[in-house]
Structure 1
Amino acid sequence: MRNIWVIFRKELRIFFDSPIAYIFIITFLAFSNWLFFRSFFFVGQISMRDFFFSLPWTFLVFIPTVTMRLWAEEKKIGTIEVLLTLPVKNYEVVGGKFFASFIFMLITLGLSFSLPLTLYLLGEVDFGPIIGGYLGACFLGAAYLAIGLFVSNLAENQIVAFIIAAVLSFTLFIIGENIVLATIPSSLVPLLSFLGLGTHFTSLQRGVIDTRDLVYYLSVIGFFLFLNIQSIEARKWSQRISSSTNLIFLVLIVLGFLGIINYLASRHFARVDLTQNKLYTLSEASKKVVNRLDDIVNINCYFSKNLPSYVISTKQQVSDILDEYRAYARGNIQVKFIDPTEDPALEQKLRFMGIPQVQLNVMEKDQATATNVYMGIAVTYEDKQEVIPFVKNVNNLEYEITSSILKVTRKEKKTVGFLAGHEEYSIYSDYQTVYQALRRQYEVKQVPAQTIPADINVLVVAGPHQLTEQAKYEIDQYIMRGGKVIFLIDIVTVPQEGGIRATYRETNLNDLLENYGVRVTKNLVLDRFNMLITFQTGYTILRTPYPFYIKVIKEEKGFDPDNPIVNQLNSMVFPWVSALEPLKETHQDLQFTVLVQSSRYSWLQKGIYDLNPLQEFMPQPEDTRSYPLAILVSGKFKSFFADKEAPPPPTPEGKEQAQRPPIIKQCEKDNQIIVVANARFIHDNYADLPGNVEFFLNAVDWFTWGKDLIGIRSRIIMDWPLPFLTERQKSTIKFINIGGVPILVALFGVIRVYFRRKRTITLENLK
């Protein structure tokens, strides 16, 4: 160990005594940080995902630059023979050089600390993927260093060493990527995917520390260091054929040993999920659901054997997730993977079950062809069955599986009704995304306003116009009986052809809502935190911030931190939303929870509704404050018709007028309603915006299952939006990171080189 330490110190000192090392560090930092900030503010996410995406490719150039001199320079100046005749072992020389270059790489990588520090100062950030990304970068960089060190020993000069090391590192990185896997036989895909350096880096970059990835990287590093040691030894007996033969056998033995180690690691592994919301670990809600199972649930995964290369990893990820389900189910979950293509009768059965063959594109012999595959899942309990027709990716798979288990094991069927008959949004044309999401867990139907069936668990009133007194009576009595209602209210009608003037939309619902403690104002809310929109004016296409598209973000206290409906959301967008006013003074017996509110930089547009995106949005500072956008009201509601005459019941033509049952004047037990000052946010045009659909589905789940599903769905939202920044602030951030840190490194280098040369001159003068 002492010899390794001596060589380590010598090599590290050589690095930092040379101006080239500082040029290397400065160039690496400036280039990497410039690549990161090129899209950072445009994407608008507090994340280092883009930095780690480009880092492996940056390493392919910079790390061979570090390693190319480690042996080649020794050969050039003729010191390698002297080094090898010293009383040190080969592994000590290789170890000293490797650890010196590794520490140099760590210092260089560590100087990018300004990036996570900047993100932390900008707002809330998930440090799990950042820690995982840096750890992955350390292992990937160490693998590149081991490769470069080995190549440097074989090459006669530095340029050749650089080129061969870069090409070999690139080859080992790219062989596991989809661009290569798509061109090879499917039988080789699992092997090459495992051998690819990039495959394991991607896993760590997500924020998941998997022992399989660590063992793989240690194997690659150890193997190339072993080759380096043996190549040094081979110089001593380069003409002896028997020794060369022994080396080949020794290399094969080491490869076999490492193969066995990695096989065992793949069978017995551990994973640590560093992400803030534990995105890649089974949630507590799912654990509780499967732990409560009283009988066996069968999960059959129908996957074709010959899948295209770019979806093979999906099958493995599905298997990993289901292993976790089995671990917590106490033997009550059984999982099978079945290839339907081997059984024509099974294929016909799957078509009736709703699991179709899906056509995917593959590359064969430089041509794009189509192949039909199965990638579906069936969850069965007793005589009930739910299917997931096609597993496109695993981002939402936990929610799909857990909701399917709930649906087949729950004795009661929950129903969500959407009020119809007053120009409300339709679940079949306007809310198709929400409709499809709800159908996975609920019975969903439209409800006529004449009478609300007793089997409706949650009623949604979405954007009504001119609600009749009969409809108001039915809604009121439904609430008095303990029914849950979600009111989604639009106060303006926006021209579909893109006009810049909106008109007031009369809902005839305000008096009913005010009876329950909430007033919907006739003002539109604007906010400095908003979305960029693209629109055309003449022949010009413009992209500009649009304050009418409010972006609610967690960092601006936009969500109630204590309510499960919203406390795991990071952002959502409301287009043309009005403000709500809780009437606390006149309804002191009710409890009000502001679920969602605008930022403190929002203001109101009163009177006319001018939607022109080119107008000047210049609010006065004293006019800006937060406004409630969604409110949860709880308590024993009093009927709107408690002291009014109820409207006559609807009577079919030709029949006598029916008698109404007595009016229920107050809820017997505490009840809840949710009022949202917008109905467009879950329209299909806006359903793909992060948080929008999730907020609505969480509200439905809250009124039906409670907390069972909310935590699962909300944690898949990976939106960490940037706060509002002026152009000057953006320029300052760019300068500090792209120029400031490299300038500090340059100053340190100049000072160190100056004092080193001064000391050298002093020593020479003393002689």
Structure 2
Amino acid sequence: MMRFLETRRSSTLAIAGLVLGALIFLLVNVLAQAGVKQARLDLTEGGLYTVSDSTRRVLKDLPAPITATLYFSSNLGEAVPRYREYFERVRDLLARYRDLSRGRLTLKVVEPEPFSPAEDRAVAAGLQGVPITQAGDPGYFGLVATDSTDGREVIPFFNLDREAFLEYDLTRLFLSLADPERPVVGLLAGLPLTGSGSPPMAMGGQPPGGQPWLIVEQIRQFFDLKSLPDDATPIPGDVDVLMVVAPSRLSEAALYAIDQYALSGGPVLMFADPVAETAALERRPPGADTGSDVAPLLAAWGIDWDAGKVALDAEAARRVAARGTLGRQQVIDYLAWLSLTPRNLLPGEPMVGDLEALNLATAGVLTPIEGSGVEVTPLITTSPRSDTADSGLFEGRPDPMDLLAGFTPRGQSLLLAARLRGDIATAYPDGPPEGVEAGAATPLAKSVAPLNAVVVADADMLYEQFWATRADFFGQAMTVPQADNHNLVINALESLSGGEALADLRGRGTTERPFTLIQDIRRQAELTFRAKEEQLSQRLDELTQRLQEIQSAGGQAGQALLSEAERQEVDRFRAEMLEVRQELRAVQHAMRQEIETVKATVRWLNIAGLPVLLTGVAIGAVILRRRRRAAAQPPVSAGQES
């Protein structure tokens, strides 16, 4: 009887527990719907779905009310469900912006139905319609933001390829409305950044017809860009930041103007370059290259500049297609083209701290001069597995295999970019260069304000071929960055001009995220492969030379008379060649298999790792709970059992 009552009581408690659990579950869901509907758990590496501090600052400081009208065609979402999901994300993020703006931002969501006034307003505002039916009916998905002073900013169409950059695009739009007055950037360029000058030569991916480089378009989104002539002396007074590109291709007059501007305390962003590969974009007549020596100017700034050296880095080398020693195409490391990661950037520095990837091409090396009195802050460095090469090797494209064969890492990182601060003297103590007029102002012999400059040892990195891809989306130009080269430029200009509004936003969403473990395995395997390949090449050369010697000795119009010993020697060489080829194939197979094993392991961890982990935790919790219950139950005596 007692056991029956205990069983009945346990059943009642179990049913009550289930009912109570169901009520708690319903209550939690109701509270979630009412209070935390927009809550998100962001597990992405760069926090792509978390509102950044930059966005919060921009929204907090909005000077006037802004109305954001989001247009979306429901038939676009029906035709492409992915756009419906993206629309919901954009709408939710804008709602979050509205909440953070303290009433300064008003959000409207409008469906521009065909032939409706809403569609007319969308078209008039500059939204891009895309055909979604066979009849050509357009679908819209864009944003129009306006303020009380008739200012307007538009995103014509939210393309899926830029989803990772959504917060950046939205925040930049509201920042443009909030701060219409932009700093002035003066551009002194020895390369055709603005598309001016002679027609460009043929080069893959170049802007056709002398169009401006993509980096110029990016700068104009945040600054008023003012292109300066090569003989601009002095630098105009309305220039807030001076950007100098490829100074060795500028005139002495331009270098003197840069010197005087820096002495006056004007901030300078300089991209020097020992080998300007993108100079091929501009066909200059003979004698047009000035060949000015920028080394004295940089020496006055505390930097030793050797235009005869190019930085090489085995860890950061980019992969290129090249012809191997056996004549076949291979994808190998090109030591002079660098793909840098956060390991190469100064952490905590707003200019570079939040960037994910930078691509450089035949960059130079900056060496601080001891005792110069200039504070040199390293921003970008190579890995310790670095060395330098003679810049003369890169007048034509060198063989990547030759660079690898002669490469010996020095075990020390090389400086590729630095921020310079301190008191300096002029690089022209004897006055302006010959033929250069100083103007009305008295030439400065020393700085009246501390030097404020950033120097990067590469100018080719500005060209889009090295950091982005262009595409045309129904007549709308679209850019998808592969690296953060443009973000480095904008961050540096903002920092030098006194503002860093979007510094922690720009590095987000970069599409190039390499698997460093797989790259290290591949590089190690390729080192072994190259050693074997060199061995095979040397043995083949020895065989060829030996056969030529035998043929010359045999005479008879080139018909060699081979002795038995010589025939055996040739056969031995051929057998050895086959053995080495087999070893090469084995190394290649082992390399591919090791990489595939790592990929499979990573894939398994991504797909099955978390479920297996959670299952293990759940099973462990159940076992532990049962053990605790068993330990808590009192022992049953023999008399009670009967």
1:325 aligns with 2:97: yes
Partner residue of 1:284?
53
> Cα gap change, 1:738/1:379 in structure 2, threshold over 3 Å: closer, same or farther?
closer
Answer 1 or 2: which has greater helix percent.
1
- 8 Å CA contact 1:418–1:427 kept in 2: the answer is no
Taking the aligned partners of 1:636 and 1:467, their CA distance within structure 2 comes to 25
- 8 Å CA contact 1:431–1:683 kept in 2: the answer is no
- 8 Å CA contact 1:290–1:329 kept in 2: the answer is yes
Partner residue of 1:213?
none
| 217, 224, 229: which one aligns with 1:436 | 217
Aligned-partner SS, 2:269: strand
Aligned-partner SS, 1:706: coil
Taking the aligned partners of 1:264 and 1:553, their CA distance within structure 2 comes to 41
Taking the aligned partners of 1:324 and 1:414, their CA distance within structure 2 comes to 29
Taking the aligned partners of 2:107 and 2:172, their CA distance within structure 1 comes to 17
Taking the aligned partners of 1:568 and 1:672, their CA distance within structure 2 comes to 22
Taking the aligned partners of 1:457 and 1:701, their CA distance within structure 2 comes to 10
1:523 aligns with 2:309: yes
Partner residue of 1:378?
144
- 8 Å CA contact 1:473–1:647 kept in 2: the answer is no
Partner residue of 1:510?
295
Partner residue of 1:714?
507
- 8 Å CA contact 1:559–1:566 kept in 2: the answer is yes
Amino acid at match of 1:359: V
Taking the aligned partners of 1:466 and 1:736, their CA distance within structure 2 comes to 47
1:602 aligns with 2:386: yes
Partner residue of 2:157?
390
> Cα gap change, 1:425/1:642 in structure 2, threshold over 3 Å: closer, same or farther?
same
Partner residue of 2:485?
692
Taking the aligned partners of 2:296 and 2:231, their CA distance within structure 1 comes to 19
Write out per-residue CA displacement over residues 390-434 of structure 1, whole angstroms, 9 at most, x where no aligned residue.
Answer: 2214322222222222222226322223214x4454367476321
Aligned-partner SS, 1:282: coil
Taking the aligned partners of 1:648 and 1:456, their CA distance within structure 2 comes to 25
> Cα gap change, 1:438/1:302 in structure 2, threshold over 3 Å: closer, same or farther?
farther
Partner residue of 2:454?
674
Taking the aligned partners of 1:380 and 1:447, their CA distance within structure 2 comes to 33
Write out per-residue CA displacement over residues 657-686 of structure 1, whole angstroms, 9 at most, x where no aligned residue.
Answer: x94211233443334211111111120211
Measure how far apart 1:440 and its partner are.
2.2
Partner residue of 1:469?
252
Taking the aligned partners of 1:488 and 1:350, their CA distance within structure 2 comes to 42
Spell out the pairing of 1:627-642 with structure 2 (5 A cutoff). Answer: 627-642=414-429
1:335 aligns with 2:146: no
**Gaps (5+ residues) in structure 2?**
1-9, 197-206, 282-288, 469-481, 526-589, 606-611, 613-642
Taking the aligned partners of 2:388 and 2:186, their CA distance within structure 1 comes to 33
- Give the number of equivalent residue pairs: 472
| 371, 377, 380: which one aligns with 1:593 | 377
Aligned-partner SS, 2:421: strand
Measure how far apart 1:385 and its partner are.
1.9
Taking the aligned partners of 1:739 and 1:700, their CA distance within structure 2 comes to 43
| 542, 548, 552: which one aligns with 2:330 | 542
1:553 aligns with 2:341: yes
Taking the aligned partners of 2:280 and 2:443, their CA distance within structure 1 comes to 45
Measure how far apart 1:282 and its partner are.
0.9
- 8 Å CA contact 1:424–1:463 kept in 2: the answer is no
Write out per-residue CA displacement over residues 492-516 of structure 1, whole angstroms, 9 at most, x where no aligned residue.
Answer: 2549999xxxxx9944222112211
> Cα gap change, 1:454/1:375 in structure 2, threshold over 3 Å: closer, same or farther?
farther
| 492, 500, 515: which one aligns with 2:275 | 492
Aligned-partner SS, 1:455: coil
Write out per-residue CA displacement over residues 609-647 of structure 1, whole angstroms, 9 at most, x where no aligned residue.
Answer: 152123261456563421111111112343333542465
Measure how far apart 1:278 and its partner are.
2.3
> Cα gap change, 1:349/1:637 in structure 2, threshold over 3 Å: closer, same or farther?
farther
Measure how far apart 1:599 and its partner are.
0.7
- 8 Å CA contact 1:491–1:507 kept in 2: the answer is no
Partner residue of 1:242?
none
> Cα gap change, 1:347/1:476 in structure 2, threshold over 3 Å: closer, same or farther?
farther
Taking the aligned partners of 1:738 and 1:398, their CA distance within structure 2 comes to 33
Measure how far apart 1:287 and its partner are.
0.5
Spell out the pairing of 1:168-317 with structure 2 (5 A cutoff). Answer: 264=33, 268-307=37-76, 308-309=79-80, 310-317=82-89
Aligned-partner SS, 1:563: coil
Taking the aligned partners of 2:168 and 2:270, their CA distance within structure 1 comes to 26
Q: RMSD of the alignment, in Å? A: 4.0
Aligned-partner SS, 2:506: helix
- 8 Å CA contact 1:591–1:633 kept in 2: the answer is yes
**Percent identity of the aligned residues?**
23
Measure how far apart 1:550 and its partner are.
1.6
**Gaps (5+ residues) in structure 1?**
1-86, 96-217, 223-256, 363-367, 499-503, 651-657, 746-767
1:426 aligns with 2:172: no
TM-score of the two chains, using structure 1 as the length reference: 0.55
